[in-house]
Structure 1
Amino acid sequence: MTDGLTIRTYRSDDRAAVTALWRACGLVVPHNDPEADIARAAGQPNSDILLGLLADDGIAASVMVGHDGHRGWLYYVAVSPEARGRGHGRAMVAAAEDWLRARGIPKAQLMIRDTNAAVRDFYAGLGWNESPRIVMERWL
């Protein structure tokens, strides 16, 4: 528990609340299917979704975490607008980092959309560094 936040793993009955949180935080864009992302990540050997719950508000925060055996990745780091400024984002990132450490993954990464650059300072304050890389993609 951190500042009233209890962190646990995703359960199937959380789906509607989680997708609503991601939409409220602006994390869902037309080419993302949050339902498919949840189905691929929740409770898998190399990935999971961690949720931050507040006793009075239910699901207030999330992080999807996974790894490829070498690098860990964080996705859907979200804190509801009403619950921001109370350390919940920091707690969710720390929980994801702990999840990766427990699996022997030495490096964590995340990507920030250029339209969401304001969060850069948040991650820098947690000790994350920019990594000069070019990310390429191909839709399959």
Structure 2
Amino acid sequence: MTGRVADGPRLTRAGAAVPGRAREESLDGGLRGQDADVAFADVADDDVEDVVALWRACDLTRPWNDPYRDLADARLGETSTVLVGRATRDLPGRASADGDPGGGPSGVVRAGEVVASAMAGVDGHRGWLYYVAVDPRLQGTGTGRATVVAAEAWLAAQGARAVRLMVRSTNDAVRGFYERLGYVDQECVVLGRPLGAADARDAGR
């Protein structure tokens, strides 16, 4: 894809691993074509509650960070956004541990449901990703890869020359996911401190 950030090579799209399903990636990082399972767009007012619910379902929220404020701040920034992925058609949830669709977190995903998100921003040189989330019913189906593709394309369009993200050192599963997408340890330590606001004591921890 034209303008792809080099840190994320050879990404696949949602459902690309399913035999017989052709996928075409649009220049804006979205998915198009009759078989595209997820379409991405900037978050809208009506999406806020669904996005925060998705973040909570994916265990991305922390008591010291207000997800509503994080989302609102990203929307106000001139070089940041929250991308939202919606199912373009009814989709079966992934199979449960015993192989039966609909077991555990599985279940039918309805067309139009918010099923993915990525907060993206540019700091003047690098692009950053936060709150990359996929509905538990669609995890393992390629939707996570498609979400990263869309976010990388948005960052590249903003002029970012590289992309970074932070993963907790104990989160081996997520680290493995990003490593499979070409992300590598940047051999640096993230340092930080609050800037004094009463509600920022533990911000970003």
- What TM-score bracket applies, with the shorter chain setting the length? over 0.9
More displaced stretch, 95-104 vs 36-45: 36-45
Match of 1:105 among 146, 155, 160: 160
Q: What is the one-letter code of the residue matched to 1:135?
A: V
The equivalent of 1:6 in structure 2 is: 39
Mapped contact 2:122–2:158 kept (Cα < 8 A): no
In the alignment, the residues of structure 1 paired with residue 56 and residue 137 of structure 2 have an alpha-carbon distance, to the nearest angstrom, of 14
Aligned to 2:132: 77
Partner of residue 34, structure 1: 67
* Post-superposition CA distance 1:51-94 (Å, at most 9, x none): 11113150000000001111110000000111111111101111
SS state of the match for residue 101, structure 1?
helix
By percentage of residues, which structure has more helix? 1
1:46: Cα distance to partner? 0.5
Say if 2:189 is the partner of 1:134.
Answer: yes
Q: Secondary structure at the match of 2:171?
A: helix
The answer (yes or no) to whether the contact 1:10–1:43 under 8 Å persists in 2 is no
Identity %: 46
Q: How does 1:17-28 map to 2 (within 5 A)?
A: 17-28=50-61
Q: Distance in 1 between matches of 2:63 and 2:137?
A: 24
Shift of 1:43: 5.6
Q: What's the RMSD between the two structures over aligned residues? A: 1.3
Equivalent position SS for 1:92: helix
Name the structure, 1 or 2, with higher relative contact order (CA <8 Å, separation 6+): 2
TM-score normalised over the length of structure 2: 0.65
Moved over 4 A (4+): none
Question: Which of the two has greater strand per residue?
Answer: 1
Deviation (angstroms), 1:12: 1.0
Structure 1 gaps of 5+ residues are none
**Contact in 2 for aligned 1:21/1:78 (Cα 8 Å):** yes
Counterparts of 1:67 and 1:94, CA distance in 2: 16
Aligned residue pairs: how many? 140
